[in-house]
Amino acid sequence: MSASEDLKQHIEAIDTYINETNTRFASFKEEFLLLADMDQDQLKKLTQEEIFDAAYALYGYSSYIQDEVNKNKIALNWCNENMERLIAQHSEMFGQYTKHESKKHILSKDNSYAAKLEQMRLVAENRLQSLEGKTYELKRKADILLEKGKRS
């Protein structure tokens, strides 16, 4: 199997576990984007009930984003662990003083599986960077809406 197929199978097994244990709480809904991007004029027009509904939806969006963060952490960890195994299996390729980062690049140059692992690791790492702080921001918006709803 290729590295991407191995990772896909690993993530599918985890998704199956999450679905069977009913620990996934949110799936993406178009309204998430609309609510997360409300402007001041839209916010002022909301009734108290709509404010509470919007806050609840933003908490759901936060859960959805956290699931995406977790998937990418799983992928990143899987890639790192598999690269470590490959480096250990091919230790004869490296000199005693070869830096660890260099070992990854050397191995990736000569091994297509290692190259794919490194590519997928970079994608997962970049996705995590782009999602960093999003759950906090959404929860903060939801908290603010709850406070506004209490005052209405």
Question: How do the domains of the chain map onto residue ranges?
Answer: 3-151
The pTM for the full model equals 0.82
> What is the enclosing helix (H) or strand (E) of 59?
helix 48-89
**Which percentage of the chain shows pLDDT scores above 90?**
74
Residue 21: pLDDT over 90 = no
CA count, 13 A, side-chain hemisphere, 84: 6
CA dist 105 and 95 (Å) reads 14
Measured at the CA of 83, the angle between CA 80 and CA 91, to 5 degrees, comes to 140
pLDDT tops 90 at residue 146: yes
Report the interhelical angle of 134-151 vs 48-89 (nearest 10°): 170
Tell me, letter by letter, the H, E, C secondary structure of 85-145. HHHHHCHHHCCCCCCHHHHHHHHHHHCHHHHHHHHHHHHHHHHHHHHCCHHHHHHHHHHHH
pLDDT value at residue 142: 96
pLDDT at 133 over 90: yes
Lowest mean pLDDT: which of 31-35, 53-57, 125-129?
31-35
Task: Give residues with Cβ within 8 angstroms of 113, minimum separation 6.
Answer: 2, 3, 86
24 or 5, which is more confident? 5
